[in-house]
Amino acid sequence: MIDDQYKIPKLAITQWNTDNYKTIDVRSPKEFTEFALPNSVNIPIFNNQEREKVGTVYKRNGKDEAIKLGLKLFSEKIPFFYEAILKLKEEVPNKELVVVCARGGLRSSSLVSTLNMVGIHSFQLQGGIRSYREFIVAKLQKYTSRKKRFHVISGNTGTKKTAALHCLKREGYPVIDLEDLAGHRGSAFGKIGMKAKSQKQFEALLVNELERFDTSAYFIIEAESKRIGNIVLPDFILSGKKSGVRIELEAPLEERVNHLLETYQPAKHHQEILEAFQIIKKRMQGHIGIEIEQLLLTEDYETAFEMLLTNYYDPKYTYTALQKTQITHHLTVTNLSETIEEIKNIISSSEIQQRIK
């Protein structure tokens, strides 16, 4: 489709894919970090400060003055854009270029018209990143009406639930790793060593995983609360967790402590551990919180983590587990490989029973 007024080639989000198109996102780095199309590259027309400046001029002096400033900033960077995009085109010679901004407005149209004028054919994504967001929301809504069974890996903190999920996923099982998609482990310490995603980015990644396993009769997830850090899980996943087959992993306290030490690497993240603990400390009995804090300060992480499990995480988990009414299979984790085989047997048996019904 061609815009008759500006002669800008347009591409609808329903036509876009990563196989045929290389996406150039011209929004500011801040916008790009929050939410972006898969495999897109950020070549911003304005940096974060410039975008803020253009917005301020718009509010104070009106649209025309903001456009003048924007065009000035853009024109000064045209040689840079030309070189960067020529290099990108060399890297993906068999793909068409599609340029995206926030709403399919001036930023993307300016670059597309300039590129086509100098002989580099490109498209403008119609509706911009907003059209992609609407596309994701619509797809996510589709899954609310799908009837999928859930197998839920649960257990106290440190029982290697995530490790089990990773093993199953490597073997091709339909695992939806919610913590990985969120970039957060779900606890007060959850963001340590991870890069948290925005809600929009999480939902886009989630849709990709749901579509990847669309033909599967079931999903495998870890038992999560409604929130993982700042991410809110969709209701259909929470409902699936509540009604699904629960596989409860159990492990000796010492092994759980060692697993947490390996996962969080407290010596490497000492200050982050201390800061995260302040959130938990407020919810604990005063003398216990003070003792754990002192252990962390003196870098006795093993004792500190053991006290955190026995005085905070375990009682909290036990209370929540008592509210569960679904079918539960209990597995003691001694050897992870053997545990994985037991999980696979439980899933296989449950699925056979479902087919018989």
3 burial (CB, 10 Å; 0-12 / 13-18 / 19+) is: middle
3-53: pLDDT as tens digits = 444 478 999 999 999 999 999 999 999 999 999 999 999 999 999 999 999
Residues 162, 169: contact at Cβ < 8 Å? no
Residues 116, 128: contact at Cβ < 8 Å? no
178-194: pLDDT as tens digits = 999 999 998 888 899 88
Q: Is 0.85 surpassed by the pTM of this model?
A: yes
In 3D space, the residue among 299, 276, 298, 277 whose CA is nearest the CA of residue 288 turns out to be 277
Q: Which 3 state secondary structure label does DSSP give 348?
A: helix
- The catalytic residues are 101
85-144: pLDDT as tens digits = 999 999 999 999 999 999 998 899 999 999 998 889 999 999 999 999 999 999 999 888
* H or E segment to which residue 222 belongs: strand 218-222
φ, ψ for residue 98 (rounded to 5)?
-130, 130
- The secondary structure of residue 175, as a DSSP letter, is B
